[in-house]
Structure 1
Amino acid sequence: MARSWTRLHEHLGHPPGSLTYDMVTAAVADKLSESDDLDWKEKLPGFTPKPGIWNEFAKDVAAMANTRGGLLVFGVSDRIELVGVDLASADKKQMFSAVRKGIQLYISGVDLIELPAPGGGGPDILVVDIPPSEMAPHFQYGWEQKGKDRVTFNAPYRINDDTFYMTEHQIARAYQDRFARRAAADALLKERLAQATEVVLSESPDFHAWLVIVTQLTRPVPRLVPAPIQAEAAAVLRQAIRTAVRVRGATDRSAILSGRLADDLRVGLRRWAGSNFLTSDRRNLSTGKRGILVELHHDGAIVVCVDLSTRLAAGDDIAVDTGGLSTVTQEAVVLADAHRLHRAPGTAVEITAALATGSTDRRIVPFAYDFGNPEPVEGTRHPRSLLASSTELAPNADDEILRECAHEISDGLLHQFGIDFRQ
């Protein structure tokens, strides 16, 4: 899926959104110079029928992915004049094949955008949108004939409008950067999980249990993308609640995340946050109503915390509503997808869920509702703590993928009780 923020958006002062024909023609009229993330191309890429041969198109894709992503715009001459291309002759299948077969590791998220002239009376444009890769370095390989056949295997990258090849120490540094990014991402996810857990547990007694779900994008939102305003964050939350109801095949009254949260989203530290217990008119959590905290971070992450406790367990046990766990997980996954589509549609989302309690001395007892009556689930384990459950939501998720992702998260928690509701 195409990125919503590119060199053209930045140059023209456009907000995040789809790339349009008018945006390209405006940039051409401004004589926008080539850079490390913009390359004007007069002709469509050519492909030899011989498999494995060195290909300039694959080199250009790998170079931009190894740098910071960018656009290959076909139909614009070196003098930055709009000359157009024949979209009917663009071999998109072969272009994707060159990316798949000529580059290692595979670069995900490359998108081909056809921009026909409005009304069909002008030159058409083809744009290849290449996201920055968190898995760099990527190597382009094949063979070429110069005097004799030779195999080539290089990691290209861009400086301004030129392409170079990484030296050994640059490749080593690129691998170090990849591992450092992965470690930093893991640390940030754990930090957000710990912070959210601390906030909700500090507001409730020891016999309460909270489902805490945090997410983060696998590819960061570009720094220059404007932060969402309150109305945008509220619209994302409302849409996610409606979508989650549809995905579950339920009714609006079954939703746990309330649309009222969207009406009272408040600014936080690089985020919008809504809760029904962190305000001056906070209610008493012991009344049995659920505590809820929702955060939509500017970097595309979300935090969802819901009190799943009931007062039904005997003695010092903690009773947990398993149906509520499944419902909240579904709504959180859909919210993660909706927020991702608004901030950075072409990236995957990492999701982690944990069941947090204020005391490890109490056992957690799973409850389910049978015809409206809560009953402990028979034959289950009653652990004192649960391991976190994690998964990844791929881009372009449809309803079935959203359901399966939510099931994977909730099953990871419920299986630790010995429960499998899908058997």
Structure 2
Amino acid sequence: MPYTALHRALGLHDRPLQYPDFEAAVQASVPESADLDWKYQLPIAATKDEFAKDVAAMANSGGGVIIYGIEEHDAQAVAISGAGAFGDAVERTLRSWVGSLVQPPLYTLNFTAFGPGDRLVVLLEVPASLDSPHLVLRADRTFRAPRRNGSKTDYMLEREIEIAYRSRFQARSDREGRMTELLQELVNRFDMDQTKIAMVARPVATRPSHLGRISESKLDDVAQKWIQNNGFTVERGPGLGRIYGRARAGYRKWTIRAPEANPEGIFEIHDDGTVALGYILHASGELRPGSAYTERHAQLAPATLAHAIQATSQTLGLTGDYQAKFLIRGRTLSMTLRTFEHGQFTTAGPHNIISNFEPVDAMFTVGTDGQLLLQQVRDAARDLLNYGGVADFETQYLRPVI
């Protein structure tokens, strides 16, 4: 679970919430805020429009939590009322209402239930969204853009909607630029005569800056999770290879280089939750130094990054979408994808030469269905293969299901 507005209000560290925390919130009369909304009970069909409005408003205001089962008075928590019946069927219904009434859709909602049935509390986490502003389809068939205004929910004015769209496009441009810079910085740390891949993934809802530096103990937790077997790959291990070494502090990040002097692998975790990985691709002996990559690399690279994202997000309590980029560079700008046929690597024809490998984009979603994340891994692998002239791939390195 991520660091939430309730953590902030109660002065908690970034640990999972527990039922006594909600009792403490009532005792302290914690007020609502732009990223914290108390609700008496879960919505019913008659109030699904209001539910969609609340969710979209939270997403349009940078994300937050809506907590059901808490009675409020004058926007302050006063009692635990009980959220009502909650289970898989209710959650599917709530998600379907958001899916049908909110545009662009919001898929990364996270529900967590706490406490006994008659005093059940359900926390709905609404992550920040790159697609803000989200519009809500109202009963009169018109679209409006809601937003949080302190503890209240209002609709945006025309000028505010214009600013929101401009902010969306500018934020995307800024993120793209920064991630591309990180890719190039990573590539430049390797021997220029070797083929290498750089991978960067940045959470849409980044880790709050007020939490400070990631501690060494949390870094160790991430590393221990990441060196375990990758759940997306047929091979044992984390994917393209384990990166062992001493972690060194950098500017708002930790870096592991293996080996330090002439690295064949680099693993970075940034304080905002960004994950960066880099590898020399011929280290296994498959390729001579040059400018080529293989089907194995194309399939294992997204799986390796997704595995690292899972390890990082679980330790840091991050959920939702990660925006990712992949970049392959060799001795020259021209690249080829080599396939293994009849016991040997093929020699790429002119039609398979990539004149200038541009970064490949992907999106990974954590904290929800693992099968969805596997499909996103396969989609990214397919893009890397398509880039080299291969239409599709067999399930040779990636698992068909989790």
Structure 2 length-normalised TM = 0.82
8 A Cα contact 2:61 2:148, kept in partner: yes
Question: How far did residue 199 of structure 1 move?
Answer: 2.2
Q: Which residue of 1 aligns with 2:398?
A: none
Distance of 1:231 and 1:89 partners within structure 2: 36
Cα distance change on mapping 1:103 and 1:195 into 2, 3 Å: same
SS in 2 for 1:72: strand
- 2:78 aligned residue (77, 81, 84): 81
- 1:40 aligned residue (38, 41, 45): 38
Render the CA deviation track for 1:400-419: whole Å, top value 9, x for unaligned. 55555444444444444445
Distance of 1:414 and 1:355 partners within structure 2: 12
Cα distance change on mapping 1:207 and 1:13 into 2, 3 Å: same
Question: How far did residue 251 of structure 1 move?
Answer: 3.5
- 1:187 aligns to 2:177 (yes or no): yes
Q: Give the residue type in structure 2 aligned to 1:394.
A: T
Distance of 1:132 and 1:409 partners within structure 2: 23
Distance of 1:312 and 1:162 partners within structure 2: 60
Cα distance change on mapping 1:317 and 1:306 into 2, 3 Å: closer
Question: How far did residue 394 of structure 1 move?
Answer: 2.4
SS in 1 for 2:241: coil
SS in 2 for 1:242: coil
SS in 1 for 2:67: strand
- 1:9-408 equivalent positions in 2, closer than 5 A: 9-48=7-46, 55-79=49-73, 80-85=77-82, 87-88=84-85, 91-117=90-116, 123-143=119-139, 152-200=142-190, 204=191, 206-244=192-230, 246-252=231-237, 256-258=240-242, 260-261=244-245, 264-277=246-259, 279=260, 282=261, 291-309=264-282, 318=291, 323=296, 326-343=299-316, 345-360=318-333, 366=338, 375-378=344-347, 380=349, 381=352, 385-396=356-367, 401=372, 403-408=374-379
Question: How far did residue 368 of structure 1 move?
Answer: 5.6
User: In terms of Rg, which structure is larger?
Assistant: 1
SS in 2 for 1:273: strand
Question: How far did residue 294 of structure 1 move?
Answer: 1.1
8 A Cα contact 2:239 2:303, kept in partner: no
Question: How far did residue 58 of structure 1 move?
Answer: 2.5
Distance of 2:216 and 2:11 partners within structure 1: 21
8 A Cα contact 1:73 1:126, kept in partner: yes
Q: Give the residue type in structure 2 aligned to 1:275.
A: R
8 A Cα contact 2:146 2:154, kept in partner: yes
Question: How far did residue 274 of structure 1 move?
Answer: 0.5
SS in 2 for 1:296: strand
Structure 1 length-normalised TM = 0.78
Question: How far did residue 334 of structure 1 move?
Answer: 1.2
Cα distance change on mapping 1:45 and 1:350 into 2, 3 Å: closer
8 A Cα contact 2:322 2:364, kept in partner: yes
Render the CA deviation track for 1:81-128: whole Å, top value 9, x for unaligned. 2242253279545433432333333233233332223xx6x7332333
Question: How far did residue 399 of structure 1 move?
Answer: 5.9
Cα distance change on mapping 1:84 and 1:231 into 2, 3 Å: same
Question: How far did residue 273 of structure 1 move?
Answer: 0.5
SS in 2 for 1:39: strand
Question: How far did residue 134 of structure 1 move?
Answer: 2.6
8 A Cα contact 1:193 1:214, kept in partner: yes
8 A Cα contact 1:237 1:259, kept in partner: no
Question: How far did residue 397 of structure 1 move?
Answer: 6.2
SS in 2 for 1:234: helix
Question: How far did residue 233 of structure 1 move?
Answer: 1.8
Cα distance change on mapping 1:96 and 1:268 into 2, 3 Å: same
Render the CA deviation track for 1:167-189: whole Å, top value 9, x for unaligned. 11111111111111111111111
Q: Give the residue type in structure 2 aligned to 1:123.
A: R
8 A Cα contact 2:292 2:330, kept in partner: no
Question: How far did residue 20 of structure 1 move?
Answer: 2.4
Render the CA deviation track for 1:37-90: whole Å, top value 9, x for unaligned. 222233443433xxxx88332222222222232333233223332242253279
Cα distance change on mapping 1:303 and 1:72 into 2, 3 Å: closer
Distance of 1:89 and 1:318 partners within structure 2: 55
Distance of 2:102 and 2:382 partners within structure 1: 36
Cα distance change on mapping 1:180 and 1:369 into 2, 3 Å: same
Distance of 2:159 and 2:29 partners within structure 1: 36
Q: CA RMSD for the aligned pairs? A: 3.4
Distance of 1:363 and 1:85 partners within structure 2: 60
Q: Which residue of 2 aligns with 1:147?
A: none
Cα distance change on mapping 1:165 and 1:309 into 2, 3 Å: same
Distance of 2:303 and 2:86 partners within structure 1: 43
Cα distance change on mapping 1:330 and 1:71 into 2, 3 Å: closer
Distance of 2:303 and 2:91 partners within structure 1: 36
Question: How far did residue 190 of structure 1 move?
Answer: 0.9
Question: How far did residue 267 of structure 1 move?
Answer: 1.0
Cα distance change on mapping 1:207 and 1:42 into 2, 3 Å: closer
